[in-house]
């Protein structure tokens, strides 16, 4: 039996799955935690990857491995391969003013045409602008800008800080894939190339793609920042270094987490994938690139060669965690309470912008309960309003995809929070699509394993995905209607 491994280096943890390359069946798995926060030193990811691999029984028998990682995180390296500062993660909103400045300088419509997105604080381009403006000493020492999965793949190949890695700091060996590159804000999904002019506008210095003709050209700026070479789907950047693996293990291209999840699910045209994790995402596989000047939908590339228009909310599973803590209950009791209440929660509405919001773009907003009366202020209504608010925020993403003309035939609901019975039941009332709940699994890591098998065999595998649930359709438009009224009030207040 040939084995492949997939890694999900997410915001909260690192997960590893080892699968049968022929069937996709799970053989073993492991996990290790990441520190909390919106900025994290990448060394923590490297340590967690080692621990998760050990927890999964190591790499014995594994023929290929690939890494899926949280998107947008900014990893800055100096010429000696050292990380210059903790990585600013996707959920760090300090660059909101930088995003607004870039949008004003380029124009939202032009930016969307050139990259498929409009800058918000989540995207890498806004973070490099923030460093340029607020940490000029660090900015002056930047030799390369990478993303989390780029850096981990580079380290697995044996590259890294001088004196602390087998092959040393060869920054020209940095690689990425089209899905992760498309989330930077300086790569064009339509033509498959970096928009180096936009990077220069953001960072104040030229850039060059590693491994291209320009990379070694004498005309390239001496102080140009290196950007990872973008690999094609199914390609390999090389092998895991012998000191790390102890055996030949082929590496896959790697991917951004949302694209890896879609790959792991085998998502097809007409599918809408809603993921409820630390963030919430709504995405659909598309044959054509899109650019949404409103910025609601980001026109990312996927990991298969197609495109992945996506809307993202900052507030998802942690909405439930926060309200469960407020009520002093666990997730099971929160679910029981929520299902005890009537749809609409007696008029109680939670607009759950606990950490600001990305869709809509309100980085400084806060959460608010409304509709509270003596009669409606019950534990059950509060619990149900939490679930409804979280899902209504995601339903706004579905509306935005449909407005751009994307077909929506069924909804695949994934993520740790969707095992909550209330989330499944209420999703069927909030989304006017058939809702399918795939069996619990690490779909980002599974998608990375698809890449590993693809690189190994030259063909994308077609593994079956089992379903765990299919809640009865029960669309209740009144839930969305009352939520939108309160959401509009928050947006109008700025």
Catalytic: which of 8, 257, 271, 292?
Answer: 257
* Phi–psi pair at 195, nearest 5 degrees: -95, 85
The 8-class DSSP code of residue 362 comes to B
The contacts of residue 221 (CB under 8 Å, 6+ apart) are 205, 206, 208
Q: Which two tokens stand for residue 439?
A: 């069996």
Q: Residue-wise over 118-142: b if at least 16 C-beta within 10 A, else e?
A: bbbbbbbbbbbbbbbeeeeeebebb
Tell me the C-alpha distance between 492 and 487, whole Å.
9
| E-only strand ranges, 130-234 | 144-146, 175-177, 187-188, 193-194, 207-209, 225-227, 229-231
DSSP, residue by residue, 268-291: -TTEEEEEESSSEEEEE-BSS---
Q: Which token pair is 199?
A: 């990077």
- 433 close to 272: Cβ distance less than 8 angstroms: yes
Which residues have C-beta within 8 Å of that of residue 216, sequence separation ≥ 6? Answer: none
137 is known as an active-site residue: no
110-184-431 Cα angle (round to 5): 85
464: number of Cβ within 10 Å: 8
Q: Can you read off the two tokens belonging to residue 273? A: 């994938």
CA atoms in the 13 A half-sphere facing the CB of 88: 21
Instruction: Give the other-Cβ count within 10 Å of 217's Cβ.
Output: 9
Q: What is the DSSP letter of 366?
A: -
Both tokens assigned to 120: 């918000």
**Dist CA 307 CA 303 (whole Å):** 8
Interacting residues of 201 by C-beta distance below 8 A, sequence separation 6+: 102, 105, 106
Any alpha helices (H) in 266-354, and if so which ranges? 317-327, 331-340
Alpha carbon 138 to chain centroid distance?
A: 26
Which residues are designated catalytic?
257
């Amino acid at each position: 039996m040939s084995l492949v491994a997939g890694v999900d280096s997410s915001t909260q943890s690192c997960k590893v799955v080892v699968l049968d390359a022929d069937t996709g069946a799970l053989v073993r798995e492991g996990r290790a935690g990441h520190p909390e926060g919106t900025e994290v030193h990448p060394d923590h990811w490297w340590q967690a990857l080692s621990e998760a691999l050990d927890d999964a029984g190591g790499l014995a028998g594994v023929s290929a491995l690939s890494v899926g990682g949280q998107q947008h995180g900014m990893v800055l390296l100096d010429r000696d391969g050292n990380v210059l500062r903790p990585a600013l993660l996707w959920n760090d909103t300090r660059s909101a003013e930088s995003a607004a400045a870039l949008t004003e300088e380029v124009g939202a419509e032009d930016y969307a045409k050139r990259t498929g997105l409009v800058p918000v604080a989540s995207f890498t381009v806004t973070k490099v602008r923030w460093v340029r403006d607020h940490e000029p000493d660090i900015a002056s020492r930047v030799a390369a800008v990478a993303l989390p999965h780029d850096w981990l793949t580079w380290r697995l190949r044996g590259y890294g800080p001088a004196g602390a890695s087998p092959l040393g700091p060869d920054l020209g060996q940095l690689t990425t894939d089209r899905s992760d590159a498309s989330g930077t804000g300086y790569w064009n999904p339509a033509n498959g190339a970096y928009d180096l002019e936009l990077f220069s506008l953001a960072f104040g210095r030229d850039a060059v793609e590693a491994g291209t003709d320009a990379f070694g050209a004498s005309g390239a700026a001496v102080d140009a920042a290196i950007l990872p070479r973008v690999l094609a789907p199914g390609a390999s950047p090389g092998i895991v270094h012998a000191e790390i693996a102890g055996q030949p293990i082929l590496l896959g291209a790697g991917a951004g987490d949302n694209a890896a999840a879609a790959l792991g699910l085998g998502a097809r045209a007409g599918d809408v994938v809603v993921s409820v994790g630390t963030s919430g995402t709504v995405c659909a596989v598309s044959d054509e690139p899109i650019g949404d000047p409103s910025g609601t939908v980001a026109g990312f590339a996927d990991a298969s060669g197609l495109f992945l228009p996506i809307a993202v909310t900052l507030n998802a599973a942690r909405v439930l965690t926060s309200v469960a803590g407020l009520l002093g209950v666990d997730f099971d009791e929160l679910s029981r309470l929520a299902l005890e209440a009537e749809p609409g929660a007696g008029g109680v509405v939670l607009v759950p912008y606990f950490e600001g919001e990305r869709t809509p773009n309100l980085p400084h907003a806060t959460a608010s309960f409304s509709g509270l009366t003596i009669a409606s202020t019950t534990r059950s209504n509060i619990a149900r309003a939490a679930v409804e608010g979280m899902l209504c925020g995601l339903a706004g993403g579905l509306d935005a995809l449909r407005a751009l003309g994307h077909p929506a035939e069924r909804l695949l609901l994934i993520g740790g929070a969707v095992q909550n019975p209330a989330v499944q039941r209420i999703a069927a009332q909030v989304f006017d699509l058939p809702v399918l709940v795939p069996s619990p699994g690490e779909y980002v890591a599974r998608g990375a394993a698809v890449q590993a098998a693809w690189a190994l065999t030259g063909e994308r595998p077609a593994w079956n995905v089992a379903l765990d649930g299919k809640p009865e359709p029960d669309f209740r438009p009144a839930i969305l209607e009352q939520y939108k009224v309160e959401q509009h009030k928050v947006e109008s207040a700025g």
